[in-house]
Amino acid sequence: MQYFTTKTELVAYLSKITKKKTIGFVATMGALHKGHLSLIEESNKKCDITICSIFVNPTQFNTASDLANYPNTINTDLEKLEQLACDIVYAPAIEDLYENEEKAKEFDFGSLTTSMEGEFRPGHFIGMATIVEKLFNIIQPTIAFFGQKDLQQLQIVKALVKQMKSTIKIEGVSTIREENGLAKSSRNKLLSKNAKTEATLIYNCLNYCKNNKKKGIVELKHYITHQFEQHKNLKLEYAEIVALNTMQPIEGWQRENENAICISAYHSGVRLIDNIIL
C-alpha cells in the first residue's frame, strides 16, 4: 500500500502507473468503520486501482468544536486499509488542499441542498462539494464510491460531477448496519450500549414506512412523530419523505425506488441520520 501526504507526490505516482487502468476512489474523513470498508471492497471488485483519501475537511463543519472533536484514528485506519489491500492512501494536511484563509467554494445545486441536512447544517454541503471537487481533480477516478447512508450527499455529488462536465461515475453503496439495524457511523462510538439499542427506533421507523407504504405519506409521518414522542431519550430533528431527484418533500408517491424516507435524530447529544429508498 502506497501512502502519500501531498498531492504533488500522489499525482506524480499516478502519472506513472495509471495508463489504461481504472481508478476507484473512496473519500473519507477517517475513523473508518465497516461502512467505509464496504466502499473499499466495492472499488477493489470493480477497478484496477483503489485510492482512499483520509482528510477531515474543515469547511464542512458547522462549529469549531465539532471539527476539534472529530475522532483521529489514522494508525488504526491504515491497518484496516492495508488488510483490505487498498492500493493507495492520500492523507494530506489542510495546507496541501486549501490556500491560507480559503473558504468553501459557492455552488448552486438547486433544491438538492435546501431541505433536511441543508436546512439543519447550513454550509455543510458547499464545504463537502468544495473538497470532493478538489479530490476529483487531483485523483481523476474512473468510479467514486459513496455510501447511501448519506443519501443527500450522494445526490449532490452526482450533480457536482455534471457541473464539472466530468466522466467520473458515481456509485452509491448500500448502508452497512449494526446487528440491530442501526446504520454504521463514526459517531456510534459515542453511544452507550443502551443508547445504541434505543436508537434502533430510527431503523424501525424506516422499515415501518417501507412495509406500510399504502398508508400514505401523511399517516407515515404522523406514525414516526408519535413513535419518537414515546422515547424521551431520542429527539427527532426531521422525518421527511422526499423525491430522490429533488431531495424535496412530496405529497404523493413517485415511481418505485424514486422516493426516500430520511430521518435525523439525537440521542445523548449524538446526531444520527438514516434513510431507506422506497
Instruction: Please identify every residue annotated as catalytic.
Output: 36
Alpha helices in 140-271 (DSSP H): 151-163, 193-198, 200-211, 217-229
Phi, psi of 180 (to 5 degrees): -90, 5
In the block, residue with C-alpha cell 464542512: 60
Instruction: Scan for cell 408519535, then name that residue.
Output: 226
What is the residue whose three cell numbers read 492520500?
Answer: 90
**Can you list the pairs that 161-170 forms with residues at least 24 positions away whose Cβ atoms lie under 8 Å?**
161/136, 163/107, 164/133, 164/136, 166/136, 168/136, 168/140, 168/141, 168/142, 168/143, 168/144, 169/142, 169/143, 169/144, 170/143, 170/144, 170/146
Cell of 42: 466495492
State which H helix or E strand residue 138 sits in: helix 124-139
Q: CB under 8 Å to 111, separation ≥6 — which residues?
A: 246, 247, 248
Q: How many CB atoms lie within 10 A of CB 5?
A: 12
Determine the Cα–Cα distance for residues 120 and 118; give it in Å rounded to an integer: 6
**CA distance readout (Å), 247 to 53, 129, 139, 174, 239:** 27, 16, 28, 18, 13
Class of residue 6 by CB neighbours under 10 A (exposed 0-12, middle 13-18, buried 19+): middle
Q: What is the DSSP-derived secondary structure letter of residue 168?
A: P
